[in-house]
Structure 1
Amino acid sequence: MTLPGFPDAAPLDGLFGGLLIGLAAALMLLGAGRIAGVSGIVGRAFGINDSGMSPSSAWMFVIGLPLGAGLVALLKGRLDPEFMPLPVLAVAGVIVGFGARLGSGCTSGHGVCGVSRFSQRSIVATLTFMAAGIATVALMGAFA
Structure 2
Amino acid sequence: MSRRLNSWMKGAMRDSLQKWANWTGSVITEIQPSYTSQVDSVTGTLLGVRCGDTFTRFNGVVLQADHNAAQNILDRGTDKEISRFMTREEVQAVLLRRTARFLEGMELSLADAVKLGWLDPKHELCSSF
Q: TM-score, normalised by structure 1?
A: 0.28
User: Structure 1 or 2: larger strand share?
Assistant: 2
Q: Which has the higher contact order (CA 8 A, sep 6+)?
A: 2
**Structure with greater helix percent:** 1
